[in-house]
C-alpha cells in the first residue's frame, strides 16, 4: 500500500470520528447551551477532539426522550 493511500485512509477515519462526535453533540442536551457549545468546539479539534469528547463528554449529555409531553403536539380540539 502506498504512503499516500495510508494517509488518505487515516484522514478519512479521523474525519468520520469527528463527524460522529459533532452529530452526537448536536442531538444531546447538556443542560445549558454553553456546555453544548463547549463540547462542540472540543469535537472540532482535529485528530483528538473526538477522543476528548468520547472520554470526558459522551456521558454528560442526555438524548431528549421522544415521549416528552412538552415536545408532543396537543390533540386537535373538536369544534362541536
Residue 18 near residue 49, CB atoms below 8 Å: yes
Q: How far is C-alpha 49 from the chain's CA centre?
A: 12
User: Taking CA 69 as the corner, what is the angle to CA 64 and CA 72, rounded to the nearest 5 degrees?
Assistant: 90
- The domains of the chain are located at 3-57
Distance CA 3, CA 29 (A): 41
Which pLDDT score is estimated for 48?
Answer: 92
pLDDT in tens, the chain (80 residues): 799 999 999 999 999 999 999 999 999 998 899 999 999 999 999 889 999 999 998 888 888 877 655 556 666 777 66
Which pLDDT score is estimated for 34?
Answer: 92
Residue 25 near residue 40, CB atoms below 8 Å: yes
pTM for this predicted structure: 0.70
Amino acid at each position: 500500500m502506498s504512503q499516500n493511500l495510508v494517509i488518505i485512509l487515516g484522514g478519512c477515519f479521523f474525519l468520520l470520528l469527528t463527524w460522529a462526535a459533532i452529530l452526537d453533540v448536536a442531538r444531546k442536551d447538556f443542560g445549558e447551551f454553553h456546555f453544548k457549545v463547549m463540547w462542540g468546539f472540543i469535537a472540532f479539534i482535529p485528530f483528538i477532539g473526538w477522543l476528548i469528547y468520547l472520554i470526558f463528554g459522551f456521558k454528560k449529555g442526555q438524548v431528549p426522550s421522544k415521549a416528552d409531553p412538552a415536545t408532543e403536539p396537543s390533540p386537535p380540539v373538536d369544534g362541536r
